Amino acid sequence: MPDRSGGRAPAAQMAGSDQSFAIALMQHLVVPTFVLDAEGKVLIWNRACERLTGVPASEVIGTRDHGFAFYDEPRPCLADLIAEGRIEEIEGFYSAYDTDASSATLGFHVENWCRMPRAGTRLYLAVDAGPIYDEAGHLVAVVETLRDMTVQKEAQIQLEQLAAKDALTGLANRRAFDERLEAEWRRCQRGGQLLSIIMVDVDHFKTYNDTYGHPQGDTCLRSVASVLAGVAARTGDLVARYGGEEFVVVLPGTNSVGARVVAERIRAAIVALDMPHAASSAGKCVTVSLGVASADPAKLAAAALLAAADQALYAAKKLGRNRVEVAGELP
């Protein structure tokens, strides 16, 4: 019988051939890629994905157990959330979720730190995943691709840290202080906690610079900063260089009694440094004056608490310096 197809293979054969070619092509892609079926089982786990995760395809093909390749605790991947129709949960699982570039038809873009247990690495991955539907609109597969963005993310973090630090002392700078204070203020509001602020000023610092020179003045400020960082060491505590020779300490969950104890500890530790200051009227060595204020963030604005601490600092300087003064009762 003559071939009435004109030399062309049957449609089913063509479709099967195309599918095999697509699978083979995906296996050799340099981009780590895996594909889930509508039930969340792994259909494809390409070689780049094997290299990235350290998990061979033979361990995950036909299973739903691929999550262990990326995380050291049970949790879904982006493709799982799409396959299971849990789109509304995506933002809660990822540190960055691009809502502008994501949609149910075009796919979703997220970013996240992943600890690869098998590979023994911790990588920051950019993840793209999108659904594939048949002609009837039924989900048949979800494709997820991964890009290693660790170098770029670490560079970004370093730049952000540098931008938030005071170059001389290494403490948080004024901008970082303003941002952190606002965040701690809201957190204490939600938790019903008090928040305390200590304003710290190096006594007669201008005369110290005039007497010993600016390089020695810089050394003095770094020494004071080191003491402050050591005293306020709890998670949530913040020490910042507020400006010039002035510093500020934020103590969440601390009342005025506790804040005064911390302030006295700081004052005594600065004296113990025994840095000579012959031109000071407050003593023979470098000293600091401190103003303390505490309040309930639900009843007072952050600016008002800062102003109260500043007034207490002014009182400490007026009363002879090298002392701690606590603001009067605040809401």
Catalytic residues: 245
Fill in the DSSP letter of residue 62. Answer: T
* Cβ(55)–Cβ(69) below 8 Å: yes
Q: Does this model's pTM top 0.75? A: no
Report, at the CATH architecture level, how domain 11-155 is classified. Answer: 2-Layer Sandwich (3.30)
- pLDDT at residue 183, as a whole number: 87
- pLDDT at residue 21, as a whole number: 57
* Cβ(37)–Cβ(140) below 8 Å: yes
| Separation of alpha carbons 264 and 271, rounded Å | 11
Q: Which residues of 195-216 are buried (b: 16+ CB within 10 A; e: fewer)?
A: bbbbbbbbbbbeebbeebeeee
Residue range 305-309: mean pLDDT, rounded: 95
Query: Domain boundaries in the chain?
Result: 11-155, 168-326
CATH topology (fold) of 168-326: Alpha-Beta Plaits (3.30.70)
Q: Per-residue pLDDT tens for 205-227?
A: 999 999 999 999 999 999 999 99
DSSP H/E element including 34: strand 33-37
Question: pLDDT confidence of 9, banded at 50, 70, 90?
Answer: very low
Residue at token pair 């400020």: 221
Lowest mean pLDDT among 45-54, 55-64, 167-176: 167-176
- pLDDT at residue 17, as a whole number: 58
- Identity of residue 129: A
Lowest mean pLDDT among 129-133, 188-192, 327-331: 327-331
Question: pLDDT confidence of 19, banded at 50, 70, 90?
Answer: low
Q: Per-residue pLDDT tens for 71-101?
A: 988 999 999 999 999 999 999 999 898 877 7
Q: Per-residue pLDDT tens for 101-150?
A: 777 777 899 999 999 999 999 999 999 999 999 999 999 999 999 999 99
